Structure 1
Amino acid sequence: MSECKLNHSQEDVRSKYDAQTPFLPDDMKPLFEQFFTKEHTQDLLNEVFHLLKKYDLASEEERNARNNRLYLVLKNV
């Protein structure tokens, strides 16, 4: 993934999540609901946004890598 200079708000992340929900693993969804109940650093919001960005278009290998990183983030916040 390329570096992005934009800062993404929690609302941006929520919108991206809502768009990608049909493509995400079912067991990840409750973790996201918990994620959205808390405040997060700008770096973390940006990272999650970019992991979700174009998730539906990613190859299976890329999705697996993104899932691993998302689980790591979501289970440790």
Structure 2
Amino acid sequence: MGTCNIDHSHEDVVKKLESQEKFLPVNLTKQLETFLREEHSQKTLNELFHLFKKYDLASKTEQEDRNKQLENLIS
């Protein structure tokens, strides 16, 4: 995943999660929903958005890697 100069809003991140949640592990989705009930830095929002982006098209290995990154980000 390359760097992006676009700042993604909280709403954009929530919508992106909703669009990918059927592809994410259920327990991780619930943790992410809880995490996104709070305010976070722009850097965190951008990282989340890009981890969700095209998640459904990623290989299983890539999805597992992204899951670990998501878990680290929200823990």
TM-score by length of 2: 0.95
Unaligned runs of 5+ residues in structure 2 are none
Establish whether residue 57 from structure 1 lines up as the match of residue 63 from structure 2.
no
Q: Are 1:6 and 2:2 matched, yes or no? A: no
Matches within 5 A, 1:27-42: 27-42=27-42
Partner-residue secondary structure (3-state), 2:22: helix
Moved over 3 A (4+): none
Secondary structure of the 1:7 match is coil
Structure 1: which 5+ residue stretches go unaligned? Answer: none
Aligned length: 75
Percent sequence identity is 45
Give me the whole-angstrom Cα distance separating, in 2, the residues matched to 1:10 and 1:48: 10
**TM-score normalised by length of structure 1:** 0.93
RMSD over equivalenced CA pairs, Å: 0.7
Query: What one-letter code is carried by the residue in structure 1 that aligns with 2:27?
Result: D
